[in-house]
Every structure is written in structure tokens, then in C-alpha cells.
Amino acid sequence: MIRIDNNLIEALKESKSIVFFTGAGISAESGIPTFRGKEGLWNKFRPEELASFNAFIKNPKLVWEWYNYRRKIVHEAQPNPAHLTIAEMQNHFKDVTVVTQNVDNLHRRAGSNKVFELHGNIERNFCINCKKFHNEELDFSTGVPKCECGGLIRPDVVWFGEYLPEDQFLGGEKAAIESDIFFVVGTSVVVYPAAGLIYTAKASGAIIVEVNLEETDLSSSANYSYFGKAGEILPNIFEEYKLNTNL
């Protein structure tokens, strides 16, 4: 058990709006590989090489293989204690918002009901030509699936060089501005504009709490940094909070 600072517990007791800004590391304990770092599955390919529209146009088959492989892992995965703790916290705090960079849907499956998805959702697809959604089971038997209009179908995720969905980003930004405590969980904090929300929250007066296996560029400016597994540290923080509030 990691020691949780008393001041953080006191701040939690006073807080009304809590945000969890999450990245791939929160789903690592569910068996979903992260993008970067030594445990990152995509060491063979840098995310920048596959997660781009140019990569898709150049080799749609390869990019689809990557997404189908990951979709299978996501379908077999279950939310872990980190996702579940965040969902449970909804019952104890006035406002709990999840702002996630993940496309795996695990926060919603854990029961979180206010979730902004900055980088899309791997469950959805759309046509690059007419933009129609294709959420039916796709047929890969004759190659890369195509829309009736002839356009290639792609996953509804945000690739490098693409704009984030405006409603999701604005929702995340509003939550960041209004937050009292802003948890940053399992992200390398290198991808923008998502990572910029941390600094928006900080500039708006939020307490920044980082949870990660290792130091990141954020660590020196976070108010609290806890190093270890999110699936252990988040339950740990919540247990400590409950002990202190006689819940």
C-alpha cells in the first residue's frame, strides 16, 4: 500500500468536481497494451506510423489488421479496479467526469456515465468518402471493407494530424476548467491537444494528481505524484478517503 497524503484526502473531502484524465496505462491491467514504453505492444511500429490517414491510404490492410487485432483484445478485456473505482466514486462525489484518450470503452463498461472520448471509439466505423457510419459487423473476406458509395471504411478514431471531435474536446475542456481535483492516470502526456487539458485545469486552479508507473514530463509540476499501478493506487486513495469520512 502506498501512503496517501493527508492533504489530498482533505482536498477530496472539500471537492465538488473531480476529473479523471486517462490514457492507455489505465487499461494495461485489463490486458490492453499501451502505445509507448517498454511494455508498449506497438514497439514494432511507432503509433505515428500506423495512426495516420496517410498510413491508412498507403496500406489500409495493415492498418485494419492492427485495429482488428486490438478490437479482439478490447472485446475480451474487462474493466479493472481502476475503472471500477472511478465509476464507484460517482456515488460519493457531486460530479465525477472521465476525459479519456482511450478508445476501448472500458470506462463506460465499468459504469462511468459522464465520459468524454477525445480520440474516438474503436467500436465505431465510418466511410471516408460519404462519412456514413458503418457499425454493422464488417466483412473483410474480400479485402478492406467498402461503403455502398465505394469509399473505404475506417475506424472512428482520431489519427495524428486530425482534429479531435469538437463536442468531446469542449466537454473535456469545460470539465477541466471546473474541476477541483484533476487526476492524470496512465498517460505519457506526450500527445496534444489532449495533454493540454492538464495545464488548462492547473491554470484554472485544480489540484493535479498524477498516477503512473513512472515519471513523466508532468511529474515535476503535479501537486501529487503516485508511482505504481493505477489498479492499486486508485482503490488505495478511495479506501483512504472512505476511512477518513467514516463511510
Q: Supply the residues annotated as catalytic.
A: 119
DSSP code, position 44: S
Question: Using the rule CB under 6 A, which residue among 8, 21, 29, 176 binds ligand BJW?
Answer: 29
Question: Using the rule CB under 6 A, which residue among 53, 93, 160, 199 binds ligand BJW?
Answer: 160
Taking the least distance from each CB to ligand BJW, the nearer of 52 and 204 is 52
| Residue with smallest beta-carbon separation from ligand BJW | 25
Give the DSSP letter string of 167-223. HHHHHHHHHHHH-SEEEEES--S-STTTTHHHHHHHHTTPEEEEEESS--TTGGGSS
210 binds ligand BJW (CB under 6 A): no
Quote the CA–CA distance of 235 and 233 in Å, as a whole number: 6
**Lookup: cell for 139:** 466483412
24 binds ligand BJW (CB under 6 A): yes
How far apart are CB 46 and ligand BJW at their closest, in Å? 9
Does residue 129 sit in helix, strand or coil?
coil
Quote the CA–CA distance of 105 and 119 in Å, as a whole number: 11
107 binds ligand BJW (CB under 6 A): no
130 binds Zn ion (CB under 5 A): yes
Quote the CA–CA distance of 181 and 186 in Å, as a whole number: 16
How far apart are CB 218 and Zn ion at their closest, in Å? 41
127 binds Zn ion (CB under 5 A): yes
* Cα–Cα distances in angstroms (integers) from residue 14 to residues 10, 24, 137, 245, in the given order: 7, 29, 47, 11
196 binds ligand BJW (CB under 6 A): no
Which residues here bind ligand BJW, judged by CB under 6 A? 23-25, 28-29, 34-37, 40, 47, 51, 101, 103, 119, 157-163, 186-188, 190-193, 211-214, 216, 229-230
